[in-house]
């Protein structure tokens, strides 16, 4: 069932849910659930939208004893069992590609529970024992119109991360955000900083990897979610609406645009605060370094060494950088980068440190590093062709640059 086929006929949706349950062999697991249990959240939403996920993620609500029920299910299928919240009785079962969260119903009615969930599209319930679809908040209507809304602003106060999750659904589902929800986000974005930094990192990663990430990033910047009104005046942050991303292949977009988008959302202090990896931060620092360098110096006028070092430092993620280049250079740079034999765009060497030490009188240290850099640059500019030429040039370089002893 695709979005275009979303229907008010609950029977068709229920059939799809039951087919999916059977396909993933979930019935033995669900047999442990007491009467009054129901399925809710993303599993139902994604079935209706026709989304196929590698990980099957279920949210189940039971009337009571969530921890004990979770233990029984986990023991029966020999899975990993985690208590997420002992006080509220929320547990997680992980079994191969299946993840199941089980929680106690905390309201006196199912509708009361559903009204506390983040968005209407995640508030559609399937009652297992009655084979009944319950949609008191019109989540199906929102799915049909690709709209994100919430029953109450209080739901977002309960977990401010939901503010950021709005943009995740824009990125992943290409949804619009309800105007009332936009007003709330603008007024309360500061509350996002009450959330654990690791959770914010997780949502940002989901946003930048979404199939509609560009629109989500533009909205995040428009609403200044991570900064003041002047935050994005920094020259490093580009006008994303004016960039043509068609130069990249689908593979390149998937692999390199997330880093570019992260760099367009956060400054270096925020990257560290939100627990981004050292590797991600190091790459973004290099993007910034060369962006500011090229702002001061025309790229066509770079000397050989600067141009070589640029490619050496940006080699493995150059497509994340090309949008800082003049438009007329991007396609040529990408094509050269795609050619793995291009020695400038993929610096290499004909000699390594061991070969140099074996053939020449030089030891480990800064001089050896400088020599390797020199030889790699000579190869990049096609002034070296083979091992013998490399040895000869290395000898010349040592004579000119090695420290002299009196």
Kindly report, residue by residue over 352-391, the tens digit of the pLDDT. 888 888 888 788 888 899 999 999 999 999 999 999 999 9
- Rounded to whole angstroms, the Cα distance separating 377 from 384 reads 9
pLDDT at position 93: 95
Residue range 193-220, pLDDT digits in tens = 899 999 999 999 999 999 999 999 999 9
pLDDT at position 231: 79
Is 3-144 CATH 3.30.460.10? yes
Higher pLDDT, 142 or 158: 142
Domain boundaries, the chain: 3-144, 151-279, 353-401
Q: Tell me the mean pLDDT in the region 161-168.
A: 94
Instruction: Measure CA 107 to chain center.
Output: 34
pLDDT at position 3: 47
Answer whether residue 400 shows pLDDT above 80: yes
Residue range 266-292, pLDDT digits in tens = 999 999 999 999 999 999 999 999 999
Greatest mean pLDDT among 7-16, 226-235, 244-253: 244-253
Sheet strands side by side (includes 38-40): 80-85, 90-95, 98-104, 56-62, 38-40, 125-127, 132-134
Mean pLDDT estimate for the chain: 92
Q: For the chain, percent helix, then strand, then coil, each to nearest 5? A: 60, 10, 35
Q: Tell me the mean pLDDT in the region 44-60.
A: 91
pLDDT at position 230: 74
Paired tokens of 120: 């209407």
pLDDT tier for residue 54 given thresholds of 50, 70 and 90:
confident
Q: Which of 5, 10, 39, 4 is nearest to 123 (CA)?
A: 39
Backbone phi and psi for residue 292, each to the nearest 5 degrees, phi listed first? -70, -35
Percent with pLDDT over 90 in the chain: 75
Is 151-279 CATH 3.30.1700.10? no
Answer whether residue 404 shows pLDDT above 90: no
Question: Which residues on neighbouring strands pair with residue 102, listed in sequence order?
Answer: 60, 91
Give the predicted TM-score (pTM) of the model.
0.88
Say which residue the tokens 């909205």 belong to.
219
Residue range 2-33, pLDDT digits in tens = 444 555 578 999 999 999 999 999 988 889 99
pLDDT at position 227: 79
- Rounded to whole angstroms, the Cα distance separating 169 from 172 reads 5
């Amino acid at each position: 069932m695709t979005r275009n086929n979303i229907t008010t006929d609950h029977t068709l949706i229920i059939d799809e849910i039951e087919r999916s349950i059977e396909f993933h062999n979930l019935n033995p697991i669900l047999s442990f659930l007491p009467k009054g249990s129901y399925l809710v959240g993303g599993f139902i939403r994604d079935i209706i939208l026709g989304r196929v996920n590698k990980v099957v993620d279920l949210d189940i609500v039971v009337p009571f004893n969530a921890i004990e029920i979770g233990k029984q299910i986990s023991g029966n299928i020999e899975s990993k069992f985690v208590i997420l919240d002992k006080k509220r009785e929320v547990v997680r079962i992980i079994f191969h590609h299946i993840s199941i969260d089980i929680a106690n119903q905390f309201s006196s009615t199912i509708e009361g529970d559903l009204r506390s969930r983040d968005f209407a599209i995640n508030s559609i319930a399937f009652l297992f024992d009655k084979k009944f679809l319950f949609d008191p908040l019109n989540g199906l209507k929102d799915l049909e119109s690709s709209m994100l809304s919430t029953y109450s602003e209080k739901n977002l106060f309960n977990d401010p991360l939901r503010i950021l999750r709005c943009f995740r659904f824009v990125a992943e589902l290409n949804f619009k955000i309800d105007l009332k929800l936009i007003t709330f986000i603008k007024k309360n974005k500061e509350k996002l900083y009450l959330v654990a930094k690791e959770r914010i990192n997780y949502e940002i990663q989901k946003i930048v990897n979404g199939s509609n990430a560009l629109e989500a990033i533009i909205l995040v910047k428009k609403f200044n979610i991570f900064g003041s009104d002047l935050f994005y005046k920094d020259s490093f942050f580009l006008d994303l609406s004016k960039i043509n991303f068609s130069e990249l292949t689908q593979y390149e977009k998937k692999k390199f645009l997330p880093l570019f988008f992260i760099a367009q959302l956060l400054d270096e202090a925020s990257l560290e605060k939100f627990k981004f990896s050292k590797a991600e931060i190091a790459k973004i620092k290099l993007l910034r370094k060369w962006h500011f360098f090229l702002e001061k110096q025309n790229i066509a006028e770079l000397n050989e060494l600067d141009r070589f070092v640029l490619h050496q430092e940006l080699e493995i993620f150059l497509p994340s950088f090309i949008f800082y280049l003049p438009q007329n250079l991007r396609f040529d740079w990408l094509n050269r980068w795609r050619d793995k034999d291009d020695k400038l765009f993929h610096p290499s060497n004909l000699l390594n440190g061991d070969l140099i030490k074996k053939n020449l009188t030089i030891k480990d240290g800064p001089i050896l590093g400088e020599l390797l850099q020199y030889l790699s640059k000579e190869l990049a500019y096609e002034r070296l062709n083979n091992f013998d030429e490399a040895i000869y040039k290395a000898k010349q370089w040592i004579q000119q640059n090695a420290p002299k002893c009196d």
